[in-house]
Structure 1
Amino acid sequence: MQFGLDPQYPVRIDKEVLAHLQVHLIVDNYGTHKTPAIKSWLTKHPRFEPHFTPTGSSWINQVERWFGYLAHQMIRRGAHKNIQALGADIRAWVKDWNEAPKPFIWTKTAEEILDSLARFRRRISGAGH
């Protein structure tokens, strides 16, 4: 969920997630998450633990990849009659995923990534832009 869209999301999550569970929030490193109001709310709700993405980091790509996997595996392949059906299907898919989660692991070495970049640069050099 994106807190930026609705300020009631943290309140809703606090009510809906079992009280004994810790809630880990992955948030961007933008300054709004560090305002006095947000810091105060987090202090009053210690089970919420924010994890700020490092500036310019690429590990957030792993989170984006998971959402891409969700979109590819379920949303694009499914037929949903309405928003409620789509929401129910997404929740079912996430529940199924969480029963046997699969971590995303970088499989390329730094050398392989740099070689790939070099090939890309050679391919686009002289492309006229």
Structure 2
Amino acid sequence: TPGKNEKHYLAGAWDSRTGVVHACLGSRKTNQLFRDLLDTLDDRYPASRYERIYVVVDNYGIHKAKAVGHWLTDHPRFELLWLPTYCPRANPIERLFGDTHDKVTRNHKRKRLRDLVADVVRHLNRNGPRHYQLSCIYQEPEVTAAMKKLTSNKYVA
């Protein structure tokens, strides 16, 4: 926002079957924000219907934090699938983040952070569900294997 160094961060997950995007907002980009997202997924995909949940992540530090490891130990139906290092375009959620930045946060005219955050939430609600396809440039074997694993199981969220 003009004249201030206020920030808000977004963590998101994209359901590869339905295209639904789940998002969490936070004032800091920490492993707590990522754990909040995992809690959201845990609530939205009950264990009675989804015995296994795969979450595709990049190699950002918040995904590797000890607290996340403890969370995963307490929630064994969750498994993190790691994208290749330095391959952000292989992650479909990055396209949504880029679209949000292009259409909402870049060169905005908002004077209050809460108004800008409301614009982001509105954009995510209006423009989901989304179905993204990976660029052929980023068809790394690890990504292909992860996506096949994600889409081959009808109980995967």
> What is the distance in 2 between the residues matched to 1:31 and 1:77?
28
Q: Find the residue that maps to 2:43 and give its secondary structure.
A: coil
> What is the distance in 2 between the residues matched to 1:32 and 1:74?
25
Deviation, structure 1 residue 78? 4.4
After superposition, the CA RMSD in angstroms is 3.9
Structure whose CA Rg is larger: 1
1:76 corresponds to which residue?
106
Name the TM-score, length of structure 1 as normaliser.
Answer: 0.54
AA at the equivalent of 1:6: T
> What is the distance in 1 between the residues matched to 2:32 and 2:79?
17
- Residues 89-128 of structure 1 aligned to structure 2 (within 5 Å): 89-99=119-129, 101-106=130-135
Unaligned runs of 5+ in 1: 109-129
- Of all paired residues, the percent bearing the same amino acid is 26
2:45 corresponds to which residue?
21
Deviates more, 1:16-25 or 1:36-45: 16-25
Deviation, structure 1 residue 8? 2.4
AA at the equivalent of 1:94: L
Deviation, structure 1 residue 56? 4.4
Q: Relative to total residues, which structure has the larger strand share, 1 or 2? A: 2
- Higher relative contact order, structure no. (Cα contacts within 8 Å, ≥ 6 residues apart): 2
Matched residue count: 107
Name the TM-score, length of structure 2 as normaliser.
Answer: 0.47
Deviates more, 1:10-19 or 1:39-48: 10-19
Q: Does 1:85 align with 2:109?
A: no
Is this contact kept in 2: 1:21–1:47, CA < 8 A? no
Q: Find the residue that maps to 1:8 and give its secondary structure.
A: helix
1:126 corresponds to which residue?
none
2:84 corresponds to which residue?
54
Unaligned runs of 5+ in 2: 1-10, 13-25, 47-52, 138-157
Q: Relative to total residues, which structure has the larger helix share, 1 or 2? A: 1
Deviation, structure 1 residue 89? 0.8
